[in-house]
């Protein structure tokens, strides 16, 4: 399998810079997910790796070889498109055969490869079908099959699941992850869905406006978002943010006074010079504990309860008007208009300075389990 | 109630449709009738709807002119011009649809604008060019002129058809290792077959019916059907019977051809307007 390396990759359209210098190295067999809001440049970046878009400057290395000027097929990649992009005039067999034919693979070998892939993807009974006769999930599988038969060094996926309905998406997610484990191929996967990113990735690359905001494992991004943008983007429901002011800071702890007047202790260090400065406190809905406490106490009124079965989301209005989402276990017996008290666990809180950059957290927030 | 009103409405629409269709078709119908009337019946007043049909006009037309030869010329001009037009316009439309530049839109409009010039405006230069290149009164010469005059239309039509083809399918071809040529021949063209067929059809019909250049650039050798018809409106006087017979013979092949492929043609002409 192959490594992929991006060195100061840039993309400029007419006068606008879309990709603003991306450095990234992808290990062999790694499953890397590019994630970000629409327009962040993640698809463009993928298409540049694929060879469908020119690279304005910088170097793209696959297995250590510079491939900037190679045609897509010569780079040894295969891509699965969002719209599947199957050849409508060819049947499933021919769709998978096309690339092999162009590569002048002998007929017998083509047949063998296609049948093997068709079996893996449970497409044996559809080989004579045209794409128009297949369901969304089957089309998706054909698109994946077309990529696999060519035995590429790197798989590229451009939002492959976004056209599927929710239940099928979940199923395909598992299939893709399983497939990746079995093939062990380096994979680059683009999505705007952070759940896909969290569940499938070895490494997540968060992009915004053509800049890499953070690279890390799903848990690294969850536990240690480097800035407000990543903190907002990773996690569902998203992290709560409350404005406040630093009133004291020690080696181990930072005390923050929220707009509501409540004082919260956060396990973050090296913020002595921030005393008096405005900060943003971030805390994930699943980390807020319901019930009274002495430390880091908060209170408010429940405006809405969303029951998800296994969990419930409480939308709580605090006294100062800030809205907070708290995730709790299933039916906790809390209803709309109830007054609730809760606490922010010091080791689970995040602090961001006025530029939105995260303060170093002392605790990982995750016990070694 | 609502159903009744809807049915009433569709009846009215159908009636209007029929009236318009008959209005348009009537001259053709009358021409067809006249061709079987003979010269005397053709000019009789009041015109008669019922009469004893005669093939007299047809006999004369076949005697005086070489129908098979002009039909052959017309076929040569139409097919030749269409094939060459497609050879030029497919790559042109590909480039404009999939690799547009800053001036693509302008180029397209400029190409179309050449159709707005009355042909007679360039009659003298084209006549002289044809004469000096010995293409006067040749099938090749007329086919070339027809091809050039239809090129803006064929490029436009193909451009619209190509624009409807999802780009990722072509990109998938590229990822699969297709060269530009393979991308066009193995992916684009099979997908665009209906569009190409409609374009070819329209080009055929335009060439078949083209009269201005036919009359001015050909005489005996390469005369197509348009010139054949015109030869019956001679200075000796108007012979409606023969004229009608010649016209019927001239439009018959393309009419049958158009009728067979009308589904394709309607799709082609309304493409983009209706999804």
Q: Evaluate if residue A367 carries a pLDDT over 50.
A: no
Q: With cut-offs at 50, 70 and 90, classify the pLDDT of residue B275.
A: very low
Count of the separate structural domains present in chain B: 1
Kindly state whether residue B258 falls inside one of the protein's structural domains. no
Contacts of B168 in chain A (CB under 8 A): 81-83, 85
Among A348-362, B147-161, B181-195, the least confident range? A348-362
Q: Evaluate if residue A369 carries a pLDDT over 60.
A: no
What digits encode the pLDDT tens for the residues A245-289?
A: 999 888 788 899 988 888 888 888 767 788 888 899 999 999 998
What digits encode the pLDDT tens for the residues A208-248?
A: 999 999 999 999 999 999 999 999 999 889 999 999 999 98
Q: What is the CATH number of the domain that holds B85?
A: 1.10.3720.10
Contacts of B174 in chain A (CB under 8 A): 51-52, 71-73
Q: Where are the beta strands (DSSP E) in A186-296?
A: 186-191, 203-208, 211-216, 240-249, 254-258, 263-266, 278-283, 289-290
In chain A, domain spans: 4-232, 238-352
Note the pLDDT of residue A56: 93
Note the pLDDT of residue B129: 93
Kindly state whether residue B22 falls inside one of the protein's structural domains. no
Kindly state whether residue B274 falls inside one of the protein's structural domains. no
Kindly state whether residue B133 falls inside one of the protein's structural domains. yes
Kindly state whether residue B265 falls inside one of the protein's structural domains. no
CA distance B266 to chain A (A): 22
Contacts of B178 in chain A (CB under 8 A): 73, 98, 102
CA distance A161 to A167: 11
Q: Evaluate if residue B30 carries a pLDDT over 80.
A: yes
- Chosen CATH of A238-352 out of 2.40.50.140, 3.10.450.50, 3.20.20.70, 3.40.640.10: 2.40.50.140
Q: With cut-offs at 50, 70 and 90, classify the pLDDT of residue A363.
A: low
Q: Evaluate if residue A292 carries a pLDDT over 60.
A: yes
**How many beta-carbon pairs under 8 angstroms link A with B?**
58
What range defines the domain where residue B187 resides? Answer: 67-231
Distance from the first to the final alpha carbon of chain A = 32
CATH of the domain spanning A4-232: 3.40.50.300
Note the pLDDT of residue B6: 79
Percent of chain B exceeding pLDDT 90 equals 40
Kindly state whether residue B203 falls inside one of the protein's structural domains. yes
Percent of chain A exceeding pLDDT 70 equals 97
> Would you call B177 and A82 a contact, using CB atoms and an 8 Å cutoff?
no
CA distance A20 to chain B (A): 24
> Would you call A85 and B172 a contact, using CB atoms and an 8 Å cutoff?
yes
Contacts of A98 in chain B (CB under 8 A): 173, 176, 178, 186
> Would you call B175 and A103 a contact, using CB atoms and an 8 Å cutoff?
no
For residue A221 the two structure tokens come to: 């991004």
What digits encode the pLDDT tens for the residues A93-128?
A: 999 999 999 999 999 999 999 999 999 888 999 999
Burial A292-328 (b: 16+ CB within 10 A, else e): eeeebebebebeebeeeeeebbbbbebeeebebbbbb
Ramachandran angles phi, psi of A62, nearest 5°: -120, 120
Contacts of B190 in chain A (CB under 8 A): 89
Instruction: Please say whether the beta carbons of A277 and A252 come within 8 A.
Output: no
C-alpha pair distances (Å), B90 with each of B84, B108, B153, B184: 10, 14, 12, 9
Kindly state whether residue B37 falls inside one of the protein's structural domains. no
**ipTM score for this prediction:** 0.84
CA distance B160 to chain A (A): 19
């Amino acid at each position: 399998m192959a490594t992929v390396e991006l060195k100061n990759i840039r993309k400029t359209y007419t006068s606008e810079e879309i990709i603003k210098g991306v450095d990234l190295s992808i290990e062999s067999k790694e499953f890397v997910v590019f994630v970000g809001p629409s327009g962040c440049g993640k698809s463009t970046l993928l298409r540049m790796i694929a060879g469908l878009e020119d690279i304005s400057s910088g170097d793209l290395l696959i297995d250590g070889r510079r491939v900037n000027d190679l045609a897509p097929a010569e780079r040894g990649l295969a891509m699965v498109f969002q719209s599947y992009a199957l050849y409508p005039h060819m049947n499933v067999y021919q769709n998978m055969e096309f690339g092999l034919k162009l590569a002048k693979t002998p007929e017998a070998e083509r047949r063998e490869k296609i049948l093997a892939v068709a079996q893996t993807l449970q497409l044996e009974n559809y080989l004579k079908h045209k794409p128009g006769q297949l369901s969304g999930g089957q089309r998706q599988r054909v698109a994946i099959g077309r990529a696999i038969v060519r035995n590429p060094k790197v798989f590229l996926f451009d939002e492959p699941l976004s056209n599927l309905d929710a239940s099928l998406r979940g199923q395909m997610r598992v299939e893709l992850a399983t497939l990746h484990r079995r093939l062990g191929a380096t994979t680059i996967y683009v999505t705007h869905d952070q759940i896909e990113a969290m569940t499938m990735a070895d490494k997540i690359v968060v992009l915004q406006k053509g800049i890499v905001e953070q690279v890390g494992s799903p848990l690294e991004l969850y536990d240690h978002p480097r800035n407000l943008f990543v903190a907002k983007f990773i996690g569902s429901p998203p992290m709560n943010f409350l404005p406040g002011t630093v009133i004291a800071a020690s080696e181990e702890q930072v005390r923050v006074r929220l707009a509501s007047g409540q004082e919260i202790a956060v396990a973050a260090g090296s913020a002595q010079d921030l005393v008096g400065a405005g900060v943003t406190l971030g805390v994930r809905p699943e980390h807020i504990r319901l019930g009274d406490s002495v430390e880091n106490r908060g209170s408010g009124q429940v405006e809405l309860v969303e029951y998800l079965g296994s969990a419930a989301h409480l939308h709580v209005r605090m006294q100062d008007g800030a809205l907070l989402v708290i995730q709790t276990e299933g039916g906790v017996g809390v209803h709309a208009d109830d007054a609730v008290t809760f606490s922010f666990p010091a080791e689970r809180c995040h602090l961001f300075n006025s530029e939105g950059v995260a303060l170093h957290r002392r605790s990982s927030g995750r016990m070694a389990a | 109630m609502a159903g009744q009103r809807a049915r009433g409405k569709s009846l009215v629409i159908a009636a209007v449709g029929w009236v318009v269709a008959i209005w348009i078709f009537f001259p053709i119908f009358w021409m067809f009738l006249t061709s079987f009337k003979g010269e005397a019946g053709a000019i009789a007043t009041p015109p008669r709807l019922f009469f004893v049909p005669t093939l007299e006009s047809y006999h004369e037309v076949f005697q005086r002119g070489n129908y098979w030869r002009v039909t052959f010329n017309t076929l040569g001009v139409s097919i030749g011009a269409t094939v060459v037009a497609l050879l030029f316009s497919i790559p042109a439309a590909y480039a404009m649809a999939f690799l547009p530049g800053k001036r693509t839109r302008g180029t397209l409009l400029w190409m179309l604008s050449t159709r707005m010039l009355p042909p007679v405006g360039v009659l003298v230069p084209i006549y002289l060019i044809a004469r000096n290149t010995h293409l006067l009164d040749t099938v090749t010469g007329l086919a070339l002129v027809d091809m050039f005059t239809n090129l803006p239309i064929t490029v436009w039509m193909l451009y619209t058809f190509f624009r409807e083809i999802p780009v990722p399918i072509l990109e998938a071809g590229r990822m699969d290792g297709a060269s530009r040529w393979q991308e066009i021949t193995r992916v684009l063209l099979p997908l665009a077959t209906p569009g190409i067929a409609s374009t070819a059809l329209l080009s055929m019909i335009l060439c078949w019916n083209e009269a201005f250049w036919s009359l001015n650039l050909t005489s005996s050798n390469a005369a197509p059907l348009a010139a054949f018809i015109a030869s019956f409106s001679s200075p000796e006087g108007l012979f409606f019977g023969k004229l009608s017979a010649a016209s019927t013979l001239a439009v018959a092949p393309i009419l049958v051809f158009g009728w067979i492929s009308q589904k394709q043609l309607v799709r082609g002409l309304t493409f983009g307007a209706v999804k």
